[in-house]
């Protein structure tokens, strides 16, 4: 395991060389960071939960025809993915006012938006990922106009699907961040959903109580992160409660 070549290490994940060319192993760490790494902690169990939640969502999205980098689950912390050239944009889809939108425009958190909003942030840690317009993206060649149209269409489909998925388990999908990559398939460039979708990258509020079930618990010191992520996993059916008499706490269901 330790001999594997590390290709990239980010805040919450490590990418290792995969078993075949064009593949990578995506490993989810227990590190929690916020405010561009200014706040950092190790949250035991977070990596496993995010891996399993992200894997579940990527498989479901694949089933409705969204192209993704996901190949297969490997173990509780790792998944096999196809290597893609990441488009240097964070795409944020919003359904409810929260976070930076509330701050930037002085709006109250929790206000339902009249329609879903898609925003683009340029991935550059040294600049704190600035908000950019489509004009910047195409002028600087970060993505072509055609790619941007595709990214936008996919982001809205993903949002519709995820809103329904979470609504079905009593959770409001407030907003989320996704990333896309390019990969070559049959000599054509294809845009695929990459990175992860987890409570680290989504705002998830309980419908009944408005309780936060996402990384804002860590960002704002509001409560136990792992318990909240476990709650999301449990409602998605990924985490089963222990049977009476079992010694240990909740256990994650093996995916294959
Ligand atoms: N987000 C993320 N990574 C980032 C920035 C934002 O995953 O680097 C997610 C965040 O969890 C939220 C959504 O994108 O679900 C919108 O975040 P926002 O712009 O409100 O920024 P924040 O308040 O997190 O700084």
The residue-averaged pLDDT of 95-115 equals 98
Fold of 86-206: D-amino Acid Aminotransferase; Chain A, domain 1 (3.30.470)
> Is residue 139 classed as helix, strand or coil in its secondary structure?
helix
* Of 2-11, 15-24, 167-176, 205-214, minimum mean pLDDT range: 2-11
Could you tell me which residue, 254 or 116, shows the higher pLDDT?
116
Please, which pLDDT band fits residue 217 given cuts at 50, 70 and 90? very high
The residue-averaged pLDDT of 99-115 equals 98
What pLDDT does residue 255 have?
A: 61
Closest CA to 92 of 113, 69, 71, 73: 113
What is the token pair recorded at 187? 């000599």
Domain boundaries, the chain: 6-84+225-240, 86-206
The residue-averaged pLDDT of 95-111 equals 98
- CB under 8 A, 24+ apart: contacts of 132-141: 132/89, 137/89
Nearest atom within ligand 1 for CA of residue 98: 20
Using the mean position of ligand 1's atoms as its centre, give its distance from the Cα of residue 45 in Å. Answer: 21
What pLDDT does residue 14 have?
A: 98
What pLDDT does residue 242 have?
A: 60
What is the token pair recorded at 239? 């985490």
Nearest atom within ligand 1 for CA of residue 214: 11
Ligand 1: residue of 97, 102, 177 to mutate (most ligand atoms within 8 A of CB) is: 177
Using the mean position of ligand 1's atoms as its centre, give its distance from the Cα of residue 46 in Å. Answer: 18
> How many of the other CB atoms lie within 10 Å of CB of 152?
15
- Whether this model's pTM surpasses 0.85: yes
Closest CA to 23 of 76, 71, 67: 71
* For residue 92, pLDDT beyond 90: yes
Ligand 1: residue of 35, 50, 99, 122 to mutate (most ligand atoms within 8 A of CB) is: 99
What pLDDT does residue 247 have?
A: 56
What pLDDT does residue 2 have?
A: 56
Q: Which CATH superfamily is domain 6-84+225-240 in?
A: Phosphorylase Kinase; domain 1 (3.30.200.20)
What pLDDT does residue 239 have?
A: 84
What pLDDT does residue 252 have?
A: 73
List residues near ligand 1 (CB under 6 A): 90, 92, 98-101, 129, 175-177, 201-203, 215
The residue-averaged pLDDT of 129-144 equals 98
* Of 11-15, 44-48, 186-190, 244-248, minimum mean pLDDT range: 244-248
Closest C-alpha to ligand 1, atom 3: 201
Please, which pLDDT band fits residue 235 given cuts at 50, 70 and 90? very high
C-alpha to C-alpha distance for 108 and 131, rounded to whole angstroms: 20
Handedness of CA 162, 198, 118, 85 (dihedral sign): negative
pLDDT in tens, 155-207: 999 999 999 999 999 999 999 999 999 999 999 999 999 999 999 999 999 99
C-alpha to C-alpha distance for 93 and 198, rounded to whole angstroms: 14
**Average pLDDT of the residues of the chain:** 95
């Amino acid at each position: 395991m330790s001999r594997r070549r590390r290709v990239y290490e980010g805040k919450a994940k490590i990418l290792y060389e995969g078993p075949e060319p064009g593949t990578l192993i995506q490993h989810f760490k227990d590190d929690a960071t916020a405010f561009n790494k200014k706040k950092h902690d190790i949250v035991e169990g977070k990596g496993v939960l995010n891996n399993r939640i992200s894997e579940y969502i990527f498989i479901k999205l694949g089933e409705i025809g969204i192209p993704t980098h996901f190949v297969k689950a490997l173990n509780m912390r790792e998944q096999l993915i196809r290597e893609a050239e990441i488009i240097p944009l964070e795409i944020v889809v919003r359904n409810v006012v929260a976070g930076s939108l509330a701050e930037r425009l002085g709006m109250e958190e929790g206000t339902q938006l009249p329609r879903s909003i898609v925003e683009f942030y340029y991935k550059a840690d040294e600049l704190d990922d600035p908000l950019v317009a489509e004009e910047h993206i195409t002028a600087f060649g970060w993505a072509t106009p055609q790619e941007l149209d595709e990214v936008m269409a996919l982001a809205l489909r993903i949002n519709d699907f995820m809103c329904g998925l979470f609504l079905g388990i009593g959770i409001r999908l407030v907003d989320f961040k996704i990333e896309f990559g390019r990969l070559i398939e049959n000599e054509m460039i294809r845009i695929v959903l990459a990175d992860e979708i987890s409570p680290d990258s989504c705002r998830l509020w309980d419908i009944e109580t408005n309780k936060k079930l996402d990384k804002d618990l860590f960002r704002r010191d509001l409560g136990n992160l792992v318990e909240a992520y476990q709650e999301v996993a449990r409602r998605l059916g990924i985490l089963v409660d222990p049977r009476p008499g079992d010694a240990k706490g909740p256990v994650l269901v093996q995916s294959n």
